[in-house]
Amino acid sequence: KSVSIDADNDGVDDHIDRCPHTPPGVGVGVNGCEMKAPKPPAALADKAPPLPKQDPTTFDADSDGVIDNLDLCLNTPPGATVDNRGCAVEAKPQVQPEPQATPSVVESFSGILEGVNFLIGSAKLTGEAKSILNTVARNLNDFPNIRVTIIGHTDNVGDAARNKRLSEARALAVAEYLASQGVDPSRMRYAGKGEEEPIASNATASGRAKNRRVELIAEEL
C-alpha cells in the first residue's frame, strides 16, 4: 500500500507536486503551484475623440487678435482696443467739429433786433430786450466763427449830437449784455448812427418808433 507524502501541506502529493515548497496558506492548483489571481480588466479607454492639435503659432490666449508669440501684453482685458503689439490703447474722444456758418446762416444774424428797446432817453435795456438778447447770445455761441457789428439808431427828437451819443451808448449796452451771456467781446464791434439813417418818417409816432432801433450786421471771421 502506497503512502501519500505532502511535504508542503498544500494538498498535492509530492509525487505530482511540481512546486513542493509552496509557502503555507497559499492557494495552489492541481500541479501544486501557486494560483495567481487574474489581472483586473484594464480601465476602458475614454471613447471621446482626441482633441485636435492646435498650431502653436496661432495661440491667442486673451483673444485680442494678436497671437501670443507676438503679444507683449498677454492678459489684455476682454473688449479692450489694442495696438499691433497686443497692448491696450486709450480710445481718443471724438471731437465734434464746430458748426460752420454758411452764407444763409450769416445773413440770418443780420437785421433789426425787433423788441430790443430801452427806457426812454437812456441806454438801459428793458426786460423784454434782455430776453431777446439771450436768444441772440445762444445763437452766436453756437457759431463762434461769426462776428457782428452792433449799430444803434435814434429818431430826430432832441439834439442831434446827443442822439448820436445815445445811439452809441445803446449799441454798447447791447454788446456788454451779449458778452455777459458768453459771447467773446472780440467778436463784437459797435457804433452809433444817431438820427442819420431813418427807415421811416419822423413826422409820426409810429415812424419815430421804427427809427429807434438796434441793428446787427454779421460777417464770417
Per-residue pLDDT reduced to its tens digit, 22-47:
888 887 777 878 877 666 665 554 56
More confident residue, 2 or 204: 204
Q: Please report the pLDDT score of residue 46 as a whole number.
A: 53
pLDDT attached to residue 56: 64
Q: Counting beta carbons within 10 angstroms of the beta carbon of residue 207, is it exposed (0 to 12), middle (13 to 18) or buried (19 or more)? A: middle
Structural domains of the chain in order of their starting residue, each with its CATH number: 103-220 (3.30.1330.60)
- pLDDT score recorded for residue 109: 92
- Look over the chain and give the mean of its residue pLDDT values, rounded to a whole number: 86
Write out pLDDT tens, residues 64-115.
888 877 878 888 888 788 888 888 887 677 766 666 667 778 889 999 999 9
R_g (Cα) of the chain, nearest Å? 53
Give me the pLDDT at residue 49, please: 67
Phi and psi at 217, nearest 5°, equal -120, 115
- pTM for the model stands at 0.56
- 167-181 burial, b at 16+ Cβ within 10 Å, e below that, comes to bbbbbbbbbebbeee
